[in-house]
Chains A and B, each alone.
Chain A
Amino acid sequence: MVATLPRPPAVPELLPDLEAVDVVGLFRTRAQGESVVVHGPVGRHGVPRAVAGIAAGHGCRAYMAWEDLPVPGVTSALTGAGVERVEHRVPNEMRIPHQTEYQGLDLGVTGADAGLAESGSLVLLHGEGRPRMASLIPEVHIAILDANLIERTLVHWAHRHPGLVFETANMVVVTGPSRTADIEQQVRLGVHGPRHLHVVLFR
């Protein structure tokens, strides 16, 4: 029998009200401050064109994508722009040869399960049809985010969605492209993860 979980005392005013803001505007400002390029919000039908445009701008040749992107038409737009789709499932047996092929991958396209305005962050829940590598290996990561899913802060979002940790083996909150400041405390982008992060907002 699973023991009951002790929990810290609940308090009524745990999350004080923050001054009401335009969360989409705040998200854009904060994300841009983290070197994220924010596009839109565009209409749903504008997303595939936006994604293909970004890919072309970076000269991408090969991409990996989530199966369940939030809007249709993205993969065909990328094909139309001459970007080839790469299969993403990593089999347990052929793991290493399969993964070392990933090094040539320029682009990863994913959805996002939430945006966090205060920090300009994205929340990605991985799983079936949603490879973790898509937002990790390629130099360029494009995330397609429904603007209605933007909340104010991590704590607000977490308290509004308890039990979310059970839904996936891997949830990642992404705040900007990868970076380090280990060398002389100077921030440099593109260390082990993507160097470029684009968010395409839609309504």
Chain B
Amino acid sequence: MTSRPVTFLSRAEAILGTREAQSVDQGMRHLTEMRDVAVAEFPIMDALRDRARVIRLHALANLDRLLSHFADQVIEQGGEIHFAADAEEANEVVARILEATGSRLVVKSKSMVTEEIELNAHLERRGIEVVETDLGEFIVQLAGDTPSHIVTPIVHLDRHDIGALFAEKLGVVETVDPTELNQIARDHLRQIFLRADAGISGVNIAVAESGSVITVTNEGNGRLVTTAPRVHIALLGMERIVSRWEDASVILEVLARSATGQRLSTYTNVVTGPRRDADEDGPEQLHVVVIDNGRSQILGSDTAEILACIRCGACLNVCPVFRTVGGHAYGTVYSGPVGSVVTPGLLGMEPWWELPYASTLCGACEEICPIRIQIPSMLLKLRARAAAEGRLPGWLERGIRRYTTTVYTPTKWERAKRLAHWITGPISRDGWIRRLPGRGSGWTAYRDFPRPARESFNTWWRFNRGS
């Protein structure tokens, strides 16, 4: 992934207080409200979340065998399978398939993994035209921008931005009416769908038993991309798989509800091989590209559980940090809580060690996750890794070491507690510290801190309960 090696804080500060930040916050609140309604309405949601977790962890624990079975089945159903160790290999495989099939115009439906490997840029260098068809991604492509959220990529743009963009790039009369904007996009893209040589899609979940790949969309572009052109290329991260169709159905039931509050996405498209002989339509060729690109490293690490993610985006929607700064602050395609674990895993700790610190550890992400992934504990593991690698600033490193020795030595600890009470006398009122000086003012801008008591609990206990 190309990423911006500027710090998280500076990227975040650039966005704070802007209209983009406000759009993000409103958008995320809306999605979380919708999600809560959908979950409350569905009596078996919690049972299915528990089951989804079992299914995904089982898949990770048996990944090699599932992928092997999956590969055999793709071939059995008339498709071709390709395993790519990294981004370069994956891009090369796709480019060669397109060149071998004489494909010059390609339509694409949304796929995080293709953004991760920067597929579009690679294909464009080879003279292949790639058109994004997911409306948000189409707009991002037209604007030369990057998506700011994994599920709602243009939450940072409003109708004025889009109206101006369409007028400029598509030569249409400028409008800010969302219905007209949608119609413009529909008419423009329909021509392209029906003339494209190849369709490239992601995969929401793959099914090992049958070699099936499942994509979900609301717009219908996922269906058109995998039906109209002669060639369909489906790319997936190697972890996005379950054992059987029944298991996939559990994932599907929790996916849309968690993402947008819909019970199911409008189109759940299950593809098993290319068209069969007697079929009326459908692609002649199906190529499935399974991508590693750092996932096997994560699988062998203490953050392996993050690979159970089904990319619903709920953790982004609920995260107070994400709501405040939006997706661009995280610097790569995977943002929010999941991004904070996955990015250091895929791209290494330099400079991504910062991301696990972009969190208050409030735990909202774990609470909302349909797979119940334990994100906060993985953020802590990554922080420990960062500290062990000496990445913390010197003053913090020394401060924590001093704190640790103090806490572990009872006499020092007792003295420190008495000292804390006396020191905070001048800056507290009625037992509360309301304003800390200097950098501490950032903390007290939003919350008060109780003044440490004169008598510590240990002291009280010794007097009132004996030894």
Contacts and interface: CB of A to CB of B under 8 A. Distances in A.
A127 B185 contact: no
A175 B264 contact: yes
Given A133-B227, A179-B218, A154 B253 contact: yes
A85 B224 CA distance: 22
Interface centre among A2, A168, A191, A194 (most CB of B within 10 A): A191
B87 to A, nearest CB: 27
B128 to A, nearest CB: 17
Contacts of A162: 244-246
Contacts of B31: 185
Interface string A5-36: 11111010111101100000000001000000
A95 B230 contact: yes
Given A99-B228, A165-B272, A169-B273, A16 B266 contact: no
B193 interface: yes
Nearest to B208: A5
Given A178-B219, A193-B266, A185 B271 contact: no
Given A102-B194, A176-B266, A179-B266, A16 B278 contact: no
Interface stretch (A38-46, A47-55, A69-77, A118-126): A118-126
Main secondary structure of the interface of A (DSSP, over half): loop
B245 A158 contact: yes
A76 to B, nearest CB: 21
A176 B189 CA distance: 21
Contacts of B245: 158, 162-165
Contact of B48 (A2, A130, A155): A155
A136 B224 contact: yes
A59 interface: no
A177 interface: yes
Interface in B193-247: 193-195, 207-210, 212, 218-221, 223-224, 226-228, 230, 243-247
B316 interface: no
A73 to B, nearest CB: 22
Contacts of B72: 2-3
B153 A90 contact: no
B68 interface: yes
A157 B248 CA distance: 12
A151 B441 CA distance: 59
B272 A133 contact: no
Nearest to A192: B220
A132 B219 contact: no
Contacts of B266: 174-179, 193
Interface in B50-93: 51, 54-55, 58-59, 62, 65-66, 68-69, 72-73, 76-77
Contacts of B376: none
A131 B281 contact: yes
Contacts of A13: 47
Contact of A170 (B193, B250, B253, B270): B270
B43 interface: yes
Given A182-B139, A191-B186, A92 B264 contact: no
A157 B47 CA distance: 17
Interface residues of B, number: 94
A130 B279 CA distance: 7
A190 B268 CA distance: 17
A162 B207 CA distance: 12
A131 B280 contact: yes
B176 to A, nearest CB: 10
Interface residues of A, number: 76
B274 interface: yes
Contact of A103 (B190, B246, B260): B190
B168 to A, nearest CB: 17
B303 interface: no
Nearest to B155: A185
Interface centre among A164, A180, A188, A192 (most CB of B within 10 A): A192
A192 B43 CA distance: 33
Given A8-B59, A155-B48, 8 more contacts: A127-B276, A132-B281, A158-B248, A170-B226, A181-B218, A183-B154, A185-B26, A185-B152
Nearest to A172: B269
B293 interface: no
Nearest to A133: B281
A102 B252 CA distance: 31
Given A154-B253, A185-B152, A191 B208 contact: no
B43 A18 contact: yes
Contacts of A193: 219-220, 223-224, 266-267
Given A90-B280, A121-B264, A192-B186, A185 B27 contact: yes
B227 A136 contact: yes
A30 B220 CA distance: 20
Nearest to B194: A99
B13 interface: no
Contacts of B250: 155
B183 to A, nearest CB: 8
Interface centre among B193, B250, B269, B280 (most CB of A within 10 A): B280
A58 interface: no
